[in-house]
Amino acid sequence: MNSLLLIILILLGGAILAYLSKRISPMLSSIVSFLAITSAALVFFFLANDQEIVKISLGDFVLEWGLNAYSWIFGAMVMVMATLASLFSIFYMKGKDRLGYFNLNFDLSVMAMMGILFSLDWVSFFIFWEIMTWSSFLIIVYNGISEGKIGIKYMIFSAIGGYAMLLALVVTRSQIHSFLITDLIHSFAGFSGNMQALLGLLFLTAFGVKSAVMPLHVWAPRAYADSPMSYTAIFSGLLSKMGIFGFGIMLIAVFSHSVDGTIFVYREVLAWLAAITSVIATFYAVIQTDAKRLLAYSSIAQLGYIVMGLAIGTKLAVMAALFLAIMHAIYKGTLFMVVGAVERQTGITDMTRLGALIRKMPWTFFAALLSIIALAGIPPLGGFVGKWMLYESLITSDHYFLIILAFLSSTAAFLYSFRFLFGIFLGQEEKEFENVKEVPFTMVLPMLIGSLLLVVFGTFPGLLFKPLASAMSFLGMGDVSWNMSMLSNGWGDHVDTLDVINSVVIIFVLVAIFLGLKNRKRTRYVSTKDIHTSGEIPTENENLTYAVDFYKPFERAIAPVMKRKMDFYYNKFGEGLETFFDFLRRVYTGNGQTYAFYVIVFLVILIVFSQQIFF
């Protein structure tokens, strides 16, 4: 049997089985879901190859699925992270209602993502795209937070994106009479300027929604934050990458065949939008008090970098973007799992109330620490590699002001990175969390695997460069040179990650040895109340926690930028529309005679204009 079809069927079957097995035991449902994803992953890694083509004839359309270097890299990312997330999910979701419903949609989302990656034609692409949309919608409303408004917002924006894509693809078909993605790639350059502009705009809108680019991002923060965390791990980590996947196809493969002015403008505008997105989102992340929201905004910011890289479109930039995309999937997945673990153990994710969990959940903290280091882009972990390449590509391609925005955003990212670690794991102990324990092993394991991957890819980025290079040459960027641990830019500057990691590790080990030698005598492990307070002994109830308005000064400094959220304008717009609709529907007055009157009026209009309408 064809392994691609097998993967989709395993996931689909897993979804249905998970739904049904809930009747036997809720736990079983989660386990079934995990097993389905794991076996799909095994099939993907050991059986799937790019020789396989699935052709399904549906209606008048032929759906074609296949695997290529570009989709393989995304597929590998999806399969690994989805496996981790579903493993995490088993205990995270234990004891919650409607697990069948949850696991059904979880598996369907994963299936849809794999489907998107396998699609060689736009119809199957769109089908899976929309399956992904509604299955994720159903999970967003699963938690039932905020009266469904966020679900609707998500759905509206997804619909805008989805329908933009639908419009684009039917227009494409009317031009080239084919739904194959490769056909679009080859014939795009031959389209008229207006057609290029239209299609470009539509496709970019479509993918922009999922990757939360500036004016289309408002659904994302709450949607990420309000879903169950085991799902957000793939929602933020992977679903958004489908937008990136699409951007990759569009910006690299399709647009590169066109040197038209509009497309160039699109690229620049998109890059700027992405940069602004990342700055604003970072600012919002900084002022959040809820860990989930913080990570949600952070995701938007990170996606901004990735889109920026793709929009710039030089080899280095694309490589950086794709590398960052993978890194983001890993560390953001891990971080959302961390928040999930904290939420499961303490019941809250409010950073103003949490504190000092490092003492209770050291492994979780360890995973969080590594992921945060990667997120902040600090060497030597994986995040740095991506960021470095991105900055180098920006500067070598003369985007000197974009680099400032990128730097601003990534510097401000240190603020929330610290806030996240500090708010949850460090700081003062809180009484209500005295009895918190570390999460079970099956939850720790995926987080640790995630952080391990970050270390590995930070040291040997070449492990990823290799498939990325072949993916990029598949997309038509020609040969891309890469090195196992050497980063280099177009001006001939290098960073050797192996050197970096060597020196960091050696120095760190030396310092640690020194510390250990120095510290032979056992020190007393004291509570966080036992601190320097200028001679005063704090009482039990004294509040020593500095958590509320953590970055107040910063907030004050950036206040002019934060005055109005984009949300505000959308809400106003929505209200205006609804008022208008309300006004319009008053034509249905409820009086039967009025309706009769309309009929006569309509008749008279037709009579009067009959010569104009019919001939």
What 3-state class would DSSP assign to 444? helix
Task: Provide DSSP, 247-310.
Answer: HIIIIIIIGGG---HHHHHHHHHHHHHHHHHHHHHHHHHHH--BHHHHHHHHHHHHHHHHHHHH
Beta carbon of residue 613, minimum distance to other proteins (angstroms, whole number): 5
Sign of CA dihedral 112, 39, 449, 345: positive
Tell me the CA distances in angstroms from 483 to 462, 489, 498, one per residue in order.
6, 12, 11
Nearer to other proteins, 51 or 174 (CB): 174
Q: Which of residues 114-173 bind other proteins (CB under 8 A)?
A: 123, 126-128, 130-131, 133-134, 137-138, 141-145, 147-148, 151-152, 155-156, 159-160, 163-164, 166-167, 170-171, 173
String of contacts with other proteins for each residue 487-506, x by CB under 8 A: --x-xxxxxx--xx--xx--
Nearer to other proteins, 415 or 475 (CB): 415
Helices 69-92 and 462-474 cross at an angle (nearest 10°) of: 130
Q: Which of residues 206-265 bind other proteins (CB under 8 A)?
A: none
Sign of CA dihedral 225, 231, 237, 240: negative
Q: How far apart are CA 313 and CA 328, in angstroms?
A: 19
Beta carbon of residue 495, minimum distance to other proteins (angstroms, whole number): 5
Nearer to other proteins, 53 or 511 (CB): 511
Q: Which of residues 402-421 bind other proteins (CB under 8 A)?
A: 403-404, 407-408, 411-412, 414-415, 417-418, 421
Beta carbon of residue 142, minimum distance to other proteins (angstroms, whole number): 7
Q: Which of residues 503-562 bind other proteins (CB under 8 A)?
A: 503-504, 507-508, 511-512, 515, 518-519, 521, 523-526, 528-534, 544-547, 550-551, 553-554, 556-558
Nearer to other proteins, 83 or 346 (CB): 346
Q: Which of residues 80, 376, 443, 468 is near other proteins by CB under 8 A?
A: 376
Q: How far apart are CA 522 and CA 513, in angstroms?
A: 15
Interface with other proteins: number of residues (CB under 8 A): 149
Q: Which of residues 26-65 bind other proteins (CB under 8 A)?
A: 57-60
Q: Which residues contact 243 (CB under 8 A, 6 or more apart)?
A: 207, 208, 209, 210, 211, 212, 303
Stretch that binds other proteins, among 81-89, 249-257, 474-482, 583-591 (CB under 8 A): 583-591
| 206, 164 Cβ separation under 8 angstroms | yes
The answer to the question of residue 392 lying near other proteins (CB under 8 A) is yes
Q: How far apart are CA 190 and CA 203, in angstroms?
A: 17
Nearer to other proteins, 91 or 360 (CB): 360
Which pair of structure tokens corresponds to residue 43?
């099939």
Beta carbon of residue 42, minimum distance to other proteins (angstroms, whole number): 25
Q: How far apart are CA 463 and CA 483, in angstroms?
A: 9
Nearer to other proteins, 315 or 387 (CB): 387
Tell me the CA distances in angstroms from 207 to 165, 293, 317, 612, one per residue in order.
8, 22, 18, 43
SS (H, E, C) 281-293: HHHHHHHCCEHHH
Nearer to other proteins, 65 or 91 (CB): 65
Stretch that binds other proteins, among 68-76, 95-103, 308-316, 449-457 (CB under 8 A): 95-103
Q: Which of residues 299-338 bind other proteins (CB under 8 A)?
A: none
Nearer to other proteins, 418 or 474 (CB): 418
Helices 362-376 and 315-346 cross at an angle (nearest 10°) of: 150
Q: Which of residues 424-463 bind other proteins (CB under 8 A)?
A: 426-429
What 3-state class would DSSP assign to 360? coil
Beta carbon of residue 470, minimum distance to other proteins (angstroms, whole number): 27
Beta carbon of residue 131, minimum distance to other proteins (angstroms, whole number): 6
